[in-house]
Structure 1
Amino acid sequence: MKENHILAKWLNNDLSEDELVAFEASPDFEKYQKIKDYTAHLEVEDWDENAMLANILNQKKKVTKVVPLYKKWFFQAAAILVLALGITFAIQNFVPQTQTANFGEKTTFLLPDNSEVVLNAGSEIHFKKWNWNSNRHLELNGEAYFKVAKGKRFEVQTNLGKVSVLGTQFNVKARKNRFDVVCYEGRVKVNYGNAQVLLTHGQSVIFENGKQINRGTTSLKPEWMANQITFYKENIKSLLDEVRRQYNITIEVNAKDTTSLFTGKLPTKNLDVALQIISTTYNLEMKKVSKNKIIFDEK
Structure 2
Amino acid sequence: MKKNRLLAKWLNNDLSEDELAEFKASPDFEKYQKIKNYTEHLKVADLDENVMLSNILKQEKVAPKVIPLYKNLMFRVAAVFVLALGITFALNSLVSTNQKANFGEKTTFSLPDNSEVVLNSGSEINYKKWNWDNNRRLELKGEAYFRVAKGRRFEVQTSLGKVSVLGTQFNVKARKNRFDVICYEGRVKVNYANTQILLTHGQGVSFENGKQINRQVSSLKPEWTENQICFYKENIRTLLDEVERQYNITIELNTKDTISLFTGKLPAKNLDIALQIISTTYHLEAKKVSENKIIFDEK
1:113 CA drift (Å): 1.4
**Pair 271,67 (structure 1): closer, same or farther in 2 beyond 3 Å:** same
Residue 269 of structure 2 aligns to a residue whose secondary structure is: coil
1:152 CA drift (Å): 4.2
* Residue aligning to 2:230: 230
Aligned-partner Cα distance in 2 for 1:88–1:187:
37
Aligned-partner Cα distance in 1 for 2:184–2:271:
28
Counterpart code for 1:272: D
Aligned-partner Cα distance in 2 for 1:61–1:169:
77
Counterpart code for 1:250: T
* Residue aligning to 1:197: 197
Residue 132 (structure 1) aligned with residue 132 (structure 2) = yes
CA contact (8 A) 2:110 2:116 kept: yes
Aligned-partner Cα distance in 2 for 1:79–1:151:
38
* Residue aligning to 2:252: 252
Counterpart code for 1:259: I
Aligned-partner Cα distance in 2 for 1:145–1:279:
29
1:62-77 paired onto structure 2 within 5 Å: 67-70=67-70
* Residue aligning to 2:172: 172
Aligned-partner Cα distance in 1 for 2:284–2:201:
39
Residue 69 of structure 2 aligns to a residue whose secondary structure is: coil
Residue 215 of structure 2 aligns to a residue whose secondary structure is: strand
1:1-299 paired onto structure 2 within 5 Å: 67-70=67-70, 78=78, 81-299=81-299
Structure 1 residues 96-127: Cα deviation after superposition (integer angstroms, max 9, x where no partner): 11111111111111112111111111111111
Q: TM-score, normalised by structure 2?
A: 0.75
Counterpart code for 2:143: E
Aligned-partner Cα distance in 2 for 1:76–1:235:
64
CA contact (8 A) 2:134 2:152 kept: no
% identical aligned pairs: 77
CA contact (8 A) 1:228 1:268 kept: yes
Residue 280 of structure 1 aligns to a residue whose secondary structure is: helix
CA contact (8 A) 1:252 1:294 kept: yes
**Pair 253,81 (structure 1): closer, same or farther in 2 beyond 3 Å:** same
> How many residues are treated as equivalent by the alignment?
241
Unaligned runs of 5+ in 1: 1-59
CA contact (8 A) 2:164 2:189 kept: yes
Structure 1 residues 199-253: Cα deviation after superposition (integer angstroms, max 9, x where no partner): 1001111111111111100000000000011001111100000011111111111
CA contact (8 A) 2:136 2:152 kept: no
**Pair 275,73 (structure 1): closer, same or farther in 2 beyond 3 Å:** farther
Structure 1 residues 119-147: Cα deviation after superposition (integer angstroms, max 9, x where no partner): 11111111121122332211111111110
**Pair 61,245 (structure 1): closer, same or farther in 2 beyond 3 Å:** farther
CA contact (8 A) 2:154 2:166 kept: yes
Aligned-partner Cα distance in 2 for 1:143–1:73:
52
CA contact (8 A) 1:163 1:188 kept: yes
Aligned-partner Cα distance in 2 for 1:62–1:87:
42
Counterpart code for 2:70: Y
1:77 CA drift (Å): 5.5
Aligned-partner Cα distance in 2 for 1:91–1:203:
39
Deviates more, 1:66-75 or 1:252-261: 66-75
Residue 220 of structure 1 aligns to a residue whose secondary structure is: coil
Residue 273 of structure 2 aligns to a residue whose secondary structure is: helix
1:67 CA drift (Å): 4.3
Residue 167 of structure 1 aligns to a residue whose secondary structure is: coil
Unaligned runs of 5+ in 2: 1-59
CA contact (8 A) 1:113 1:152 kept: no
Q: Which has the larger radius of gyration?
A: 2
Aligned-partner Cα distance in 2 for 1:67–1:89:
32
* Residue aligning to 1:51: none
Aligned-partner Cα distance in 1 for 2:111–2:86:
22
